[in-house]
Structure 1
Amino acid sequence: MQPDIAALVRPDGLLSLRVMPKASADRIVAEPDAEGGPRARVYVTVAPEDGKANRAVIALVAKALDVAKSRVILVRGETSRDKLVRIDG
């Protein structure tokens, strides 16, 4: 079961993430970012190749927020560990 990360979603629907690919298990942990704001650290087991890690992150965030994967949109950070996603709706 994933933690409730809804509290980390900003009022504008944005969620800051730090992704750790090739982890031993898929999970999400809340932590402060460099500026002290809220951020979720997302661990996924897949390697960051051909967008596999991004798809796994979107699926994991969608499951944790109990929304459809199509509502989680990658705004920034396609090739970076630091990502910004928008939760539509």
Structure 2
Amino acid sequence: MTGAPIRRDGADLLVEVRLTPRGGSDRIDGLKALSDGREVVAARVKAVPEDGKANAAVAALMAAAAGLPKSAGAVVSGSTARLKTIRLTEAGAEAETRLRAACGLPA
């Protein structure tokens, strides 16, 4: 993971997330600085980390924050780790603006 926590990859967005499963609610907690200086989006979901439930929940959470259907989100790396990369497919400029606002980043 390098660069900003939200970055463009063609028509898609890639979001670097630190996930807390069994977090009591589904929400984005803003930005978090890791010990190596990288910034990631901190998120929590109610789902348990079993059978891909937490991964599906965080992908849906990011898609919803961007105003996209939940099918637009998918975990593309870190499926068994707390640090994950979420791909939001066909995310236009409006979706990026909404996601950045939800995460506390400037547009």
Q: Same fold (TM over 0.5)?
A: yes
Q: Look up the match of 1:16.
A: 16
- Structure 1 or 2, whichever has the larger Rg, is 2
Are 2:55 and 2:79, in contact at CA under 8 Å, matched by a contact in 1?
A: yes
Q: Helix, strand or coil for the counterpart of 1:66?
A: coil
Shift, 1:8, TM fit: 4.8
TM-score, reference length from structure 1: 0.79
> Alpha carbon RMSD of aligned pairs, Å?
1.9
**Structure 2 unaligned blocks of 5 or more:** 91-107
Q: Percent identity?
A: 39
**Structure 1 unaligned blocks of 5 or more:** 1-6
Deviations 1:43-62 (A, max 9, x none): 11111111111111111111
Give the AA of the match of 1:78.
Answer: S
TM-score, reference length from structure 2: 0.67
* Structural mapping, 1:1-89, within 5 Å: 8-12=5-9, 13-34=13-34, 35-89=36-90
Q: Helix, strand or coil for the counterpart of 1:28?
A: strand
Shift, 1:10, TM fit: 0.7
**Residues of 2 paired with 1:11 and 1:55: CA distance?**
21
Deviations 1:15-39 (A, max 9, x none): 1000101112211022144343442
Give the AA of the match of 1:59.
Answer: A
Number of residues of Structure 1 aligned to a counterpart in Structure 2: 83
**Residues of 1 paired with 2:8 and 2:47: CA distance?**
30
Aligned structure 1 segments of 4 or more residues deviating by more than 6 angstroms: none
Give the AA of the match of 1:27.
Answer: R
